[in-house]
């Protein structure tokens, strides 16, 4: 069976891409190993509570604004189905999202071949995908949307004695009065630890690097409050602990595990600690075992993720693309491509890229008057309702291309910043990119995230000191940033005040446009 595009995996990344391919009558097929969509969520997270928020009651009727607070729904022009129709829970049960993905696939008539587990992928002039049931598919472009579900195993002597997050019991009764070491300080590690607090005699969570909290870094893959109860038991001396240290060796002796740890904050002190169980929760990696030699994608970030260009195409295999959580390689631990509320926009962008490659259809654009008032109005109107720039802060932006010798500018919504600079606008002399971003440098100056000095709302001259999410407009010339304007932060994220938001941006745009016009005269 031959298709132009084959997607492997009917998880949220693959479904989202398929929605736009289906809507635009493109030749595609999803291959899914299970009997229905969203199969991975039948097993993950292991303790079944999602940490992606489902804020049903926002006070807004605008579907676009509501997507800022809905981290589970996939995009559609029809705004249906929405995840809030399946559960009202703020942190939902994973079973609910499995039901949601099934319904999404059915309602949008997505083309999916189920029970099609891929056993081998090879390539000559086209990709050849063999499945365990004997069917062979071919395609010109292959999109891997299989997620990152294979445990990442740190290189530690004796690590083979340990269980992993994937295969360890989730029944706390199996750990009564046991001493437990958890390797890894992410959400899977603390989710596992919280589950064992009532029964384990002691729990240590260890990794070489200090714990990072999502509320401080704004990366939602760092430890979330919903999983951090263990921190109370540590700081209030209830036998549990968080350790910064390198594990040198794990030895199994008489049914116990003797672990040699070199502490990170005790003048290189080395100690041997004894445990009954060790659980590896060090994250996940992309599985390459189905790729034949010569077709394997180049890997990066400790061999956890396939290396990708700004259009999510493999750096070494032409025509091999990626969708879903694996796209986080492009904004690793910076924005939200590791999560549904981030990569759903990546999948939509990937559709536009494939649409252009396959059928020559350009990214949707709008033509607007080339004057500072109109451009400012478009920017302010969009930043006050966009979900893509809100969720994919600093990674996806709006682009305004200045058309020389014309009284019009071209406005492009929701395009990856790197892709815009490297590809879409590479032949354009002048353009602007609008993003929403945090003032991370401001946060670094304050050790307490809840005690940050905010810039005064009327101090527009120091808008670049805004700490919280706010619009940033950058002027580019021949691919280089030459001017930057910060729209000052607002406590309620409403950037619509004439004196503090609109007029300063108009002034910036006017100054930039005057220089551009003068240079072209």
Instruction: Tell me which residue of 216, 212, 251 sits closest to 231, measured CA to CA.
Output: 212
Percentage above 70 pLDDT, the chain: 100
The pLDDT of residue 446? 77
- The C-alpha atoms of residue 32 and residue 146 are separated, in whole angstroms, by 9
**438 and 419 Cβ atoms separated by less than 8 Å:** no
- DSSP sequence for 330-361: GGTTTSSTTSHHHHHHHHHHHHHHHHHHHH-P
Q: Are residues 345 and 302 in the same domain?
A: yes
Kindly list the strands in the beta sheet with 470-477, ordered across the sheet, starting from the edge strand earlier in the chain: 366-369, 408-416, 396-402, 430-437, 470-477, 480-486
Q: Are residues 392 and 513 in the same domain?
A: yes
Q: How far is CA 107 from CA 80, 294, 349, 438, 461, in A?
A: 9, 39, 22, 37, 51
Q: Are residues 120 and 182 in the same domain?
A: no
pTM score, two decimals?
0.96
The pLDDT of residue 445? 77
End position of a domain, from candidates 229, 259, 280? 280
- The C-alpha atoms of residue 521 and residue 516 are separated, in whole angstroms, by 9
User: In the structure encoding, which two tokens stand for residue 440, read together?
Assistant: 């991370």
The pLDDT of residue 90? 96
End position of a domain, from candidates 280, 295, 329? 280
Residues of the chain with pLDDT under 50: none
User: In the structure encoding, which two tokens stand for residue 461, read together?
Assistant: 């001259």
The pLDDT of residue 454? 85
The pLDDT of residue 521? 60
- DSSP sequence for 486-521: EPPP-TTS----IIIIIHHHHHHHHHHHHHHHHHH-
- The C-alpha atoms of residue 260 and residue 29 are separated, in whole angstroms, by 50
- The C-alpha atoms of residue 152 and residue 302 are separated, in whole angstroms, by 9
Total domain count for the chain? 3
- The C-alpha atoms of residue 485 and residue 504 are separated, in whole angstroms, by 9
Q: Are residues 450 and 497 in the same domain?
A: yes
Q: Are residues 146 and 158 in the same domain?
A: no
Name residues whose C-beta falls within 8 Å of residue 70's C-beta, 6 or more positions apart in sequence: 53, 54, 55, 82, 83, 84, 341
User: In the structure encoding, which two tokens stand for residue 325, read together?
Assistant: 């959580």
User: In the structure encoding, which two tokens stand for residue 61, read together?
Assistant: 């009727």
Compute the C-alpha angle 358/311/321, nearest 5°: 70
191 is in which domain, residue-wise?
153-280
CATH of the domain at 293: 3.50.50.60
DSSP character at residue 420: I
Instruction: Tell me which residue of 205, 209, 176 sits closest to 192, measured CA to CA.
Output: 205
Q: Are residues 397 and 457 in the same domain?
A: yes
HSE-up of residue 470 (Cα within 13 Å, Cβ side): 26
Q: Are residues 427 and 406 in the same domain?
A: yes
User: In the structure encoding, which two tokens stand for residue 201, read together?
Assistant: 């005699």
Q: CB neighbours (10 Å) of residue 155? A: 6
Q: Are residues 192 and 226 in the same domain?
A: yes
- The C-alpha atoms of residue 345 and residue 38 are separated, in whole angstroms, by 18
Q: Are residues 486 and 372 in the same domain?
A: yes
Q: How far is CA 271 from CA 250, 260, 281, 282, 317, in A?
A: 12, 6, 22, 22, 46
- The C-alpha atoms of residue 281 and residue 412 are separated, in whole angstroms, by 41
Q: Are residues 506 and 370 in the same domain?
A: yes
Where are any strands of DSSP class E within 234-340?
Answer: 241-253, 256-263, 270-275, 277-280, 284-285, 299-300, 305-306, 320-322
The pLDDT of residue 316? 98
The pLDDT of residue 442? 78
Q: Are residues 175 and 136 in the same domain?
A: no
End position of a domain, from candidates 339, 359, 379? 359
**396 and 349 Cβ atoms separated by less than 8 Å:** yes
Q: Are residues 134 and 48 in the same domain?
A: yes
């Amino acid at each position: 069976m031959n298709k132009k595009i084959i997607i492997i995996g009917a998880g949220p990344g693959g479904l989202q891409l398929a929605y736009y391919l289906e809507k635009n009558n493109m030749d595609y097929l999803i291959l899914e190993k299970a009997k229905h969509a969203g199969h991975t969520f039948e097993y993950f997270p292991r303790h079944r509570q999602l940490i992606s928020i489902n804020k049903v009651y926002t006070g807004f009727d605008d579907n676009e604004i509501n997507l800022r607070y809905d981290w589970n729904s996939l995009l559609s022009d029809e705004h249906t189905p929405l995840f809030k129709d399946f559960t009202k829970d703020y942190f939902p049960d994973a079973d609910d999202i499995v039901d949601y993905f099934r319904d999404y696939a059915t309602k949008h008539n997505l083309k999916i071949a189920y029970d099609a587990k891929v056993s081998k992928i090879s390539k000559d002039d086209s990709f050849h995908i063999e499945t365990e049931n004997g069917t062979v598919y071919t395609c010109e472009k292959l999109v891997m949307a299989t997620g990152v579900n294979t445990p990442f195993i740190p290189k530690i002597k004796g690590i083979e004695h340990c269980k992993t997050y994937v295969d360890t019991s989730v029944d706390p009764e199996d750990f009564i009065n046991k001493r437990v070491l958890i390797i890894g300080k992410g959400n899977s590690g603390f989710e596992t630890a919280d589950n064992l607090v009532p029964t384990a005699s002691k729990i240590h969570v260890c990794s070489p690097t200090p714990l990072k909290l999502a509320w401080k870094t704004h990366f939602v893959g760092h430890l979330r409050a919903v999983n951090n109860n263990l921190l109370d038991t540590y700081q209030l001396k209830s036998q549990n602990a968080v350790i910064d240290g390198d594990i040198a060796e794990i030895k199994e002796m008489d049914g116990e595990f003797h672990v040699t740890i070199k502490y990170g904050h005790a003048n290189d002190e080395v100690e041997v600690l004894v445990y009954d169980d060790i659980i590896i929760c060090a994250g996940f990696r992309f599985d390459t075992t189905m790729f034949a030699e010569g077709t394997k994608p180049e890997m990066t970030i400790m061999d956890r993720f396939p290396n990708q260009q700004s259009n999510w195409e493999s750096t070494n295999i032409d025509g091999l693309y990626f969708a879903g959580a694996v796209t986080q390689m492009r904004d690793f631990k910076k924005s939200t491509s590791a999560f549904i509320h981030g990569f759903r926009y990546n999948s939509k962008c990937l559709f536009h890229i494939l649409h252009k490659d396959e059928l020559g259809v350009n990214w949707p654009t709008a033509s607007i008057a080339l004057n500072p008032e109109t451009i400012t109005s478009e920017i302010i109107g969009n930043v006050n309702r966009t979900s893509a720039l809100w969720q994919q802060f600093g990674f996806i932006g709006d682009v305004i291309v200045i058309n020389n010798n014309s009284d019009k500018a071209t406005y492009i919504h929701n395009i990856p910043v790197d892709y815009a600079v490297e590809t879409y606008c590479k032949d354009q002399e002048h353009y602007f990119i609008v993003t929403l971003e945090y003032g991370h440098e401001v946060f670094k100056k304050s050790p307490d995230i809840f005690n940050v000095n905010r810039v005064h709302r009327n101090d527009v001259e120091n808008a670049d000191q805004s700490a919280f999410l706010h619009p940033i407009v950058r002027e580019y010339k021949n691919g280089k940033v030459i001017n930057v304007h910060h729209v000052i932060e607002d406590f309620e994220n409403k950037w619509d005040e004439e004196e503090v938001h609109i007029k300063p941006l108009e002034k910036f745009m006017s100054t930039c446009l005057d220089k551009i016009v003068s240079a072209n005269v």
